[in-house]
Amino acid sequence: MRRLIALSLTALGLSACVATTFPETTQELRDMPRGALAVKSEEFMVARSVGAVMNTFQTRGAACLHFDISSTMYGGTMVGGMRSSVNMQDVYRPRFESSGSTRTLVVQHYNRANIGNPGWYPRFVADVTPAAGGSKVTLYGPGLQSEFIREPIRAWARGDTRPCPAEKY
């Protein structure tokens, strides 16, 4: 009976992982309903040109957004008293896009443990568009899980070249 319960819980947990879909394009991330996967968007104005903002994004992105985070997740006690573990390696890389007057910084994410959605996907997007007196910056990405990326990008948009997000790891 214990074995059946353990197997049922494992199957339920795996099905939840497979059912979670991640956006595969920057537009899919922008279009996700707020609250889905805890996606958060914010908009703010900066007194800098689109070119100046993107120059900072490209300089700091090249220096700061090429990083890996390794971690191990441990599960509960499995059948037979063994504990399960999964080694995770999150890989982040910047990419830059342009469409009309909008310039975009995309922070791509890759994790081999993403069951059902292997490959790179956009983890965080920063759109920069011209506005009166400067630029409008719109950020899209998971709420708390991307704060370590969101905070420096906010600062970079304003011209502050604060430390890289990876320096916290």
Among residues 152, 154, 150, the alpha carbon closest in space to that of 164 is found at 152
* pLDDT reading at 152 higher than 70: yes
CATH 2.60.120 fits 21-168, yes or no: no
User: What pLDDT is recorded for position 13?
Assistant: 41
Percent of the chain with pLDDT over 90: 36
Instruction: Report phi then psi at 113, rounded to 5.
Output: -80, 0
Residue 60 near residue 152, CB atoms below 8 Å: yes
What is the value of pTM for the model shown?
A: 0.74
Per-domain boundaries in the chain: 21-168
E strands, 35-101, where?
A: 39-46, 67-77, 83-99
Q: With a cut of 70, say whether residue 123 has pLDDT above it.
A: yes
Could you tell me what percent of the chain has a pLDDT over 70?
Answer: 66
Strands 102-111 and 83-99, bridge-based pairing: antiparallel
pLDDT-based confidence at residue 12 (cuts at 50, 70, 90): very low
pLDDT digits (tens, 9 = 90+) for 71-111: 666 666 566 666 666 666 778 899 999 999 999 999 998 87
Comparing C-alpha atoms, which of 91, 63, 48, 44 is closest to residue 161? 63
Smallest Cα–Cα separation from 125: which of 137, 117, 112?
A: 137
Q: Kindly indicate the confidence band of residue 19, based on its pLDDT and cuts at 50, 70 and 90.
A: very low
pLDDT of amino acid 86: 64
Give the per-residue pLDDT at 125. Answer: 95
- Please name which of 14, 60, 48, 81 lies closest in space to residue 166, comparing C-alpha atoms: 60
CA 116, CA 11: separation in Å to the nearest integer? 15
Give CA separation, 9 vs 81, 87, 91, 133, in Å. 16, 20, 29, 56
